[in-house]
Amino acid sequence: MSPEPYILLGMGKTILYIAEIVTKTGIYCVKNQLKSLIKEFQADFVIANGDGATGGFGLGKTHSIYLRKLGIDVITSGDQIFFKKDIQEHLPKAYHLLRPANFPQGNPGRGWRTYTVGGKKPDDKPERSENIVVISLLGQSGFNRIHPSNPYTFLPNIVERAKKDADIVIMDFHSPITAEKATMNLYADGKLTAVIGSGSRTQTNDAQILPRGTAVISDAGRTGSIQSVGGFEPETEIRQKMLGVPARSNEHWDGLEIQGVLLKVGDDGAAESIEPFRRKVETPEGNRDD
């Protein structure tokens, strides 16, 4: 009998990436499913994008702490990271939280860090094979509030510094434009272990390992309501598109899913496989507050 498809045999790491968590519904999906996914996939390390976790726009301090307690090792973000005011003071203290590295200099927090598998602290000086570098980087297209540095000229310097600490280097590239993410995937091939796209909140069907060995997917999807518009109640979002009149977006509880990708990596930093996944989550009855 063949082994389960997601069980990693021998040496290496199994890294679970949870697609962008959107509103309270996404947080509920993580609470409901993360422990079982870690067990099912025998995941060694968990990364999640939290750019829309608090109300669909940004990430608040309380949710940052709560998601960490649920078992997420690193929370990446995107263009909305500073939408909640309390995150500015929290970012420099939150080792598990990354804002985009190519934001202007002087922004609070860090855009990439070295983490360890197994919960060892950085000052324990773990073996190189236990280290994973995670990078959060922002694209240039589709944003009208911010003007990040060029990610293509910004990335090589980060990679050079990151590979002094670890062979496994994973980047969350946040952009709403699929073509921009496809371009970055090809540019990063051979430089990184994996590039996992986020920002469009729709899972793409292009997960692959490129010729020079980098595992990529243009977008890992979203965690929350799938029968929605980007995680929000459809009628309001459709009305905004039709009339051009702004309205308050509302969370939506129909068709809940937790989405993401499972990445298998050798200790030498070489990607062995990348597989997208989707898991349905039953909509709770009664009080839905966390």
| String of DSSP letters for 36-84 | HHHHHHT-SEEEEE-TBTTTTSS--HHHHHHHHHTT-SEEE--TTTTSS
Cβ neighbours of residue 20 closer than 8 Å, sequence gap 6 or more = 26, 49, 50, 51, 52, 78, 198, 199, 201, 220, 221, 222, 223
pLDDT at 105: 87
User: What whole-number distance in Å separates Cα of residue 119 and Cα of residue 79?
Assistant: 29
| Structural domains for the chain | 13-280 (3.60.21.10)
The string of pLDDT tens digits covering residues 170-194 is: 999 999 999 999 999 999 999 999 9
| String of DSSP letters for 124-141 | G---GGGEEEEEEEE-SS
Report the mean per-residue pLDDT for the chain: 91
Nearest in space to 219 (alpha carbons), one of 177, 272, 270: 177
pLDDT at 216: 98
Please state, as a whole number, how many other Cβ atoms lie within 10 Å of the Cβ of residue 161.
12
List the structure tokens of 241. 């598109």
Segment holding 277, helix H or strand E: strand 271-280
The string of pLDDT tens digits covering residues 94-147 is: 999 999 999 998 899 999 999 999 766 656 666 777 899 999 999 998 887 888
Answer with the residue of higher pLDDT: 8 or 211.
211
Can you give the pTM of this predicted structure?
0.91
Confidence of residue 160 (pLDDT cuts 50, 70, 90): very high
**Pairing mode of beta strands 222-225, 20-21:** parallel
**What are the CA-CA distances from residue 91 to residues 29, 110, 138, 185, 200 (Å)?**
24, 8, 17, 28, 24
